[in-house]
Amino acid sequence: MKRIITATVQNRSGVLNRVTGLLQRRQFNIESISVGQTETPGISKMTLVVEVEDNQKLEQLTKQLNKQIDVLKVSDITDKAIVARELALIKVVSSSQLRNEIQGIIEPFRASIIDVSKDSLSIQVTGKPEKIEALIELLRPYGIKELARTGLTAFLRGQQPQVTEFTPYSLLK
Amino acid sequence: MKPGLNTGVTPKNGADLLVEALVKEGVDTVFGYPGGAVLPIYDAIYRAGNAFTHILGRHEQGTIHAAEGYARVSRKPGVVFATSGPGATNLVTGIADAMMDSLPLVVFTGQVATGVIGTDAFQEADVMGITTPITKHNYQVQTITDLPRIVKEAFHIATTGRPGPVVVDIPKDISAEISSDVEFDTSFDLPGYQPTLKPNPLQIKKLADSLTKSKKPILLAGAGVLHGKASNRLLEFVEKFQLPVTTTLLGLGSFPGSHQNHLGMAGMHGTFTSNMALYECDLLINIGARFDDRLTGNLQHFAPNATVAHIDIDPAEIGKNITTHIPIVSDANEALKQLLSLASETPDHEQWWELLGRYQDEYPLWYNNPKESMIGQWVLETVHEVTKGEAIVTTDVGQHQMWAAQYYTLEKPDRWVTSGGLGTMGFGFPSAIGAQLAKPDDLVVAIVGDGGFQMTFQELSILQERNLPVKVIIVNNQALGMVRQWQEKFYEERYSESLFAIQPDFVKLADSYSIRGVKIETQADFEAQLPELMAYDGPVVIDCRVLQQENVYPMIAPGKGLHEMIGVKP
């Protein structure tokens, strides 16, 4: 099962290495990991998307992460109300004749063209991973020259639904 | 002038600050080996004079195992120095060993100067990268002002919660940097490190309730009882509820070995009774053991019908290998204290005790004693008899280790030093040096194999240098005994590279270090000489020639369950 885990960490050299090394040696498969600073100086936040076999492995994952001295807090937010986004940059083969056609494709995705050259277009898209996948699939027939994705970043929504009325919701299933 | 604080030197450099920080931590003994990148620190140690005793090893592996032995019996952190590159990498085995067995170490490694870090400079190794997976935490000092705080944090992390090794990597330019105005600031804040010491009362209540209901309880005592200094409380608890007790390899000594409630060690070479008790119990209370696979055997058959309660200071150990019904994150002593105050009704386990008693009578530990030649079991039993079970025993890894666990019954805590988790050959002898330094007045016996002793015997120099009366008993079967045993049992007697064709003359070897050496080949000689050798005022190396083909029994074969022991009866 795919889980979204966030870890609040001290912003020190080697912390990313600690976390990824830990996951590697305990045989957890990281699908994506993104890190950046938070509102508090010296504190960073990691968002990990991991594939785990079962709840027992998941528990072990969060406990081992928590054990790290530089890790302040670990949360599995998969089943919570969250906002989750990823950014992708896609460079597509495109002659000038095709530009309008591609523009038409990316518009519903609220993606934008951020660079144009004689034979290519660079597109920026933000959204849930499924949306990015969908756009990539649509653009693939044109020929993707280069693709870069940031990995998922996420946090809890400002308000969580009441637990009693809450139906589990996961954008990653 | 206060000894240790090198007030004669001003201004101070980073190395002086380090020495000062160690003195403030109350360090009295350090273990180390100098080299280029750590020279400023050794210079500061020299200038500080008698700030602490420095034990010069002969190889960094021996050095760090000595520190581990020191830490195990003194309950103080072992402090280690090594230089950069090869010095640091030679420590890796000991660091990993301390990590597996939760021993508090603070390891200082020299590093090349900050300006050349990352250039593959002479004697540069990525110590942070190498030691991250095998330390509780590690640091590379980036500025001299951080040094006092980092040392403070390192000792704090190494010794609190679940103990473990902490590495502090110090670039040469920082230890050499002179600074007249570094404020000796050791205040620190580790928001990500807050060990839970007190148990959740609800879980304690749950365990107390299960205890009153259970018909077949068993208590498993691990090294966590020793680290938590909870032996007395454990004894009180066990006697109050009349529980059967079994121990892990590392938990030996946490409960009196000859106590009537003690079933012996559990696991691969544990007693039949202990393993059957773990198999048949309906309540398993694990205090401070991590359910290692050498203990559990095949997980399918481990305590299949039991409610499992696990008390551990490290939450990540709970539920890691075994599904736990009552998880209790706590210091062992604190958990036992609260349990004692809560549970009162003494349940009746008469039938259970009757069954266990029958197992004990019918399937005790056994060996066939060929009077004409010596075997390991007999040697250990005899050593136990002669030393009245009061020695501090350190062991290497292999058959002799298991025989020591089986036949050297320990009554008191902190007298058993062995490499459990990592199973490190070469551990037994140097760790005895550390143990003897920690307890100068106690009898320290190193039980080693001829294989493991040959890995680290260069540390014999220290016995001579420091006049340490360590008694080294080589259980010499001229083979890698445990490897040989496995090859016999599971590889159809193909003894691939496990039998030594050549042995050093251990008596001459000892002699070359000006240490008394004795070779003994018969039971009669051993019995006649051992009392005098144990009482001898100085170090001794005893080369005991034992039968090569002797095996450790009983045994759980790989992949088998606790109830499937082999070699249970002669």
Closest to B98 measured CA to CA, from B61, B127, B125, B124: B61
Q: Which of A19, A56, A67 to mutate to test the interface with B (most CBs of B within 10 A)?
A: A67
Assess whether pLDDT exceeds 60 at residue A166. no
ipTM value of the model? 0.91
What is the rounded CA–CA span in Å between residue A90 and residue A144?
A: 7
Tens of pLDDT, residue by residue over A97-109, are 999 999 999 999 9
Query: Chain A: residue nearest B323 by CA?
Result: A56
Assess whether pLDDT exceeds 60 at residue B422. yes
- Strand B29-32 and strand B78-82: the pairing is parallel
Across the interface, do A67 and B132 touch by the CB < 8 Å criterion? no
Distance in Å, alpha carbon of B441 to nearest chain A alpha carbon: 38
Closest to B341 measured CA to CA, from B231, B242, B236, B259: B236
pLDDT at B503: 94
Tens of pLDDT, residue by residue over B140-196, are 999 999 999 999 999 999 999 999 999 999 999 999 999 877 778 889 999 999 999
pLDDT at B2: 41
**Chain A contact set for B129 (CB, 8 A):** 17
What is the rounded CA–CA span in Å between residue B506 and residue B214?
A: 54
pLDDT band, very low/low/confident/very high, at B358 (cuts 50, 70, 90): very high
Across the interface, do B133 and A22 touch by the CB < 8 Å criterion? yes
pLDDT at B328: 98
The crossing angle, in degrees rounded to 10, of helices B14-24 and B147-159 is 40
Determine the 3-state secondary structure of B227 from DSSP: helix
What is the rounded CA–CA span in Å between residue B377 and residue B366?
A: 9
Q: Which of B143, B150, B193, B321 to mutate to test the interface with A (most CBs of A within 10 A)?
A: B193
Mean pLDDT of chain A: 92
Q: Which of B102, B137, B166, B196 to mutate to test the interface with A (most CBs of A within 10 A)?
A: B137
Query: Chain B: residue nearest A57 by CA?
Result: B320
Closest to B381 measured CA to CA, from B538, B526, B221, B543: B526
What is the rounded CA–CA span in Å between residue B366 and residue B360?
A: 12
Tens of pLDDT, residue by residue over B43-64, are 999 999 989 999 999 999 999 9
Query: The whole model's pTM is what?
Result: 0.95
Distance in Å, alpha carbon of A137 to nearest chain B alpha carbon: 39
What is the rounded CA–CA span in Å between residue B389 and residue B13?
A: 49
Closest to B312 measured CA to CA, from B224, B226, B252: B224
Distance in Å, alpha carbon of B482 to nearest chain A alpha carbon: 28
Known catalytic residues of B?
60, 122-123, 172, 482
pLDDT at A172: 54
As a whole number, mean pLDDT of residues B4-22 equals 78
pLDDT band, very low/low/confident/very high, at B347 (cuts 50, 70, 90): confident
Residue B342 CB neighbours (<10 A): 14
Instruction: Confirm if B122 and B112 have CB atoms less than 8 A apart.
Output: yes
Mean pLDDT of chain B: 96
pLDDT band, very low/low/confident/very high, at A163 (cuts 50, 70, 90): low
Distance in Å, alpha carbon of A57 to nearest chain B alpha carbon: 8
What is the rounded CA–CA span in Å between residue B203 and residue B311?
A: 10
For chain B, the residues whose C-beta falls within 8 A of a C-beta of chain A are: 128-129, 132-133, 136-137, 140, 157, 190-193, 314-316, 319-320, 323
Return the structure tokens found at B549: 């083909």
Q: Percentages helix, strand, coil for chain B, rounded to the nearest 5?
A: 40, 15, 40
Instruction: Confirm if B141 and B167 have CB atoms less than 8 A apart.
Output: no
Assess whether pLDDT exceeds 60 at residue B14. yes
pLDDT at A165: 52
Assess whether pLDDT exceeds 90 at residue A168. no
- Of A95-99, B71-75, B374-378, the one with minimum mean pLDDT is A95-99
Assess whether pLDDT exceeds 60 at residue B132. yes
What is the rounded CA–CA span in Å between residue A154 and residue A48?
A: 9
What is the rounded CA–CA span in Å between residue B31 and residue B17?
A: 18
Closest to A30 measured CA to CA, from A59, A62, A2, A68: A2
Return the structure tokens found at B364: 């005790």
Return the structure tokens found at A111: 């993606």
Assess whether pLDDT exceeds 90 at residue B21. yes
Where does B290-398 have alpha helices with state H? 293-296, 332-342, 350-362, 376-387
Across the interface, do A18 and B132 touch by the CB < 8 Å criterion? yes
Nearest Cβ partner for A60 among B157, B192, B320 = B320
What is the rounded CA–CA span in Å between residue A95 and residue A146?
A: 16
Count of CB pairs separated by less than 8 Å, A with B: 38
pLDDT band, very low/low/confident/very high, at B344 (cuts 50, 70, 90): confident
Assess whether pLDDT exceeds 50 at residue A161. yes
**Chain B contact set for A69 (CB, 8 A):** 136-137, 157, 190, 192-193
Amino acid in the structure at residue B469: P
Closest to B470 measured CA to CA, from B386, B536, B560: B536
Residues 6+ apart with CB under 8 A from B433: B55, B62, B66, B69, B459, B462, B463, B466, B468, B470
Nearest Cβ partner for B128 among A14, A60, A71 = A14
Instruction: Confirm if B303 and B292 have CB atoms less than 8 A apart.
Output: no
Across the interface, do B316 and A64 touch by the CB < 8 Å criterion? yes
**Chain A contact set for B136 (CB, 8 A):** 69
Nearest Cβ partner for B192 among A21, A22, A69 = A69
Sheet containing strand B165-171, strands side by side: B53-56, B29-32, B78-82, B105-111, B165-171, B137-140
Return the structure tokens found at B176: 């050499």
What is the rounded CA–CA span in Å between residue A117 and residue B204?
A: 69
Tens of pLDDT, residue by residue over B212-241, are 999 999 999 999 999 999 999 999 999 999
Residue B152 CB neighbours (<10 A): 17
